[in-house]
């Protein structure tokens, strides 16, 4: 599989979740990005789990239709302390992947360690360090951005940092 190192199409970054899914759309330009938009899809706790998954699918489809990304980058599940939460996030991740497949989007995934390494240069970086680097690299300043959206921006940025390795 060869990945073009001069990609100029929108890339969708996703931080999976069933209660709050972070997403970000950007276009890489050399070593920098034009961030088009980012946000979170939140599902109400009052909904049934299946209704929450359906809402994730519907809202993610709207993002895809609006920005038409050709590539999606998703954070892989690595470790969870709460097995019940891990199962729900895994199922939500399945909804996310299926939604991307339905729209013909090429998928890549990275572990949290790979994302931290790509964004901060240190695979064991904490959340504050990641947020600081995302804000710095994408010129976000001090505007309020939810953690899940920051994580989605970091996932999106990881594709740019890893694309040469993906071409091997």
Q: Which domains does the chain have, with CATH numbers?
A: 11-166 (3.30.420.10)
Q: List residues bridging with 15 in a β-sheet.
A: 22
pLDDT band at 162 (very low <50, low <70, confident <90, very high): confident
- Please state, in angstroms and as integers, the Cα–Cα distance from residue 60 to each residue in 40, 71, 119, 157, following that order: 10, 14, 24, 19
Residues marked active site are found at: 15, 75, 148
**Per-residue pLDDT tens over the stretch 17-56:** 999 999 999 998 877 889 999 999 999 999 999 999 999 9
Predicted TM-score (pTM) of the model is 0.90
């Amino acid at each position: 599989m060869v990945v073009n190192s001069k990609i100029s199409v929108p890339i969708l970054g996703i931080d999976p979740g069933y209660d709050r899914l972070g997403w970000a759309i950007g276009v890489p330009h050399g070593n920098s990005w034009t961030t088009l938009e980012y946000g979170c899809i939140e599902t109400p706790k009052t909904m049934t789990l299946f209704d929450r998954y359906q809402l994730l699918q519907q809202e993610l489809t709207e993002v895809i239709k609006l920005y038409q990304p050709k590539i999606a980058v998703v954070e892989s599940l690595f470790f969870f302390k709460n097995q019940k939460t891990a199962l729900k996030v895994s199922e939500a991740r399945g909804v996310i992947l299926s939604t991307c497949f339905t729209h013909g989007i090429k998928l890549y995934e990275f572990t949290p360690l790979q994302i931290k390494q790509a964004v901060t240069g240190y695979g064991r970086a904490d959340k504050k360090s990641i947020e600081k680097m995302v804000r710095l690299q994408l010129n976000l300043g001090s505007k309020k951005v939810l953690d899940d959206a920051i994580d989605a921006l970091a996932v999106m940025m990881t594709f740019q940092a890893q694309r040469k390795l993906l071409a091997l």
